Amino acid sequence: MKILAFESSCDETAVAVVEDGRKILSDAIASQADLHALYGGVVPEIASRKHIEAIAALTDQALKEAGVEKKDIDAVAATYAPGLIGAVLVGLNFAKSAAYALNVPLIPVHHIRGHIAANYLAFPELEPPFLALCMSGGNTLIVDVRDYTDFALLGATRDDAAGECFDKAARVLGLPYPGGAAMDKLAHESEGGVYELPRAKIDGCPLDMSFSGLKTAVVNLAHNAEQTGKQLDRAALARDFTQAVVDELVPRAMLAMQQSGRKVLVAAGGVAANSFIRAELEKECRKHGYRLYMPPLKLCGDNGAMIGAQGYYEYLAGARADWALNAYATRDIDDPIV
């Protein structure tokens, strides 16, 4: 079954063709990151307009690269939540018109379910049940993936996402948007141990996280240094900041594994590209005897193929949308699909 999949929840316009949920036939992406870098972060209105400009040509490109014609497409899948509402609406409405024109079913896909499904594309043997640690620019959560379309939220950030925190910390260190990858590189230039940064604990909810205190601490350090004329050790701050993020994420993932009794852990989302987080997850999973799956770097960030992968399983589970389907800025991963 060939699915034409659309993703437009933030600043990547992405269109892919995926076969049977597991095989990428094409994965076309138009990133707007350079444009938003001028402003130090994503400008939602600009994101929506750029999606409109890119999506039709990108669809032609995805079909061409896949070597398929429109008549070969069996269904259309699209991110319908969560994300920047104007941006999601562009991809979703384009997907609706494509499904209508091709006379095939329209499948709504939750963006974070898609991030998890990126792993199905890389690891043919991976099947639920497993736990997923999802870390992206807009969301950070620990989920029990009981089946392909059956999710239970175990813990989540109470405020900022890990990626948002990386991007803001990078900004005050003078790194370009999106700052995650640049922070990763800079952090390798120091052993750290210079700056004391907070780790959050939420009373009674050991799997919930908070990144806003960490973000504020880094912003304050940078501003104080600026005001007092002190030199910041940028590499050490990047390293100590990264360690604080690792300490928020990895022990919680291990606790969730222990509490749930699951033996397989899956990482997902843009922040899953971080080399320190990957190394620590590998170390801890080896220590505890857990099997760990992490997407290859190119499937960590937003892409259309992951929506095609999850779309296939949503399709098998009977998810269908009609033309009245709306987009949602927020929607939990375990909410009913529409």
Nearer to ligand KG4, 2 or 113 (CB): 113
Length of the chain: 338
> Which range, of 46-54, 93-101, 117-125, 131-139, touches ligand KG4 by CB under 6 A?
131-139
3-state secondary structure string across 313-325: HHHHCCCCECCCC
Choosing from 128, 179, 192, 295, the residue that interacts with ligand KG4 (CB under 6 A) is 179
* Binders in 244-273 for ligand KG4, by CB under 6 A: 269-271, 273
Place of tokens 């079954």: 1
DSSP string, 130-197: EEEEEE-SS-EEEEEEEETTEEEEEEEBSSS-HHHHHHHHHHHTTPPSS-HHHHHHHHTT----SS--
> Which range, of 51-59, 130-138, 210-218, 284-292, touches ligand KG4 by CB under 6 A?
130-138
Nearer to ligand KG4, 73 or 175 (CB): 175
Provide the minimum distance between the beta carbon of 241 and ligand KG4 in the complex, in angstroms, as a whole number: 10
Helix (H) / strand (E) element for 27: namely strand 23-31
Choosing from 26, 136, 140, 210, the residue that interacts with ligand KG4 (CB under 6 A) is 136
Q: Are 304 and 15 in contact (CB under 8 A)?
A: yes
Compute the distance between CA of residue 7 and CA of residue 79 in angstroms, rounded to an integer.
5
Q: What's the angle, vertex CA 288, arms to CA 283 and CA 293, rounded to 5?
A: 60
Provide the minimum distance between the beta carbon of 229 and ligand KG4 in the complex, in angstroms, as a whole number: 29
Compute the distance between CA of residue 223 and CA of residue 204 in angstroms, rounded to an integer.
34
* Binders in 268-287 for ligand KG4, by CB under 6 A: 269-271, 273-274
* Binders in 292-331 for ligand KG4, by CB under 6 A: 301-302
> Interface mask (CB under 6 A) for ligand KG4, residues 2-41, using x and -?
--------x-------------------------------
Q: Applying CB under 6 A, what is the total number of residues that bind ligand KG4?
A: 19
Single-letter amino acid code for the residue at 77? A
Nearer to ligand KG4, 66 or 271 (CB): 271
Q: Is position 167 an interface residue for ligand KG4 (rule: CB under 6 A)?
A: yes
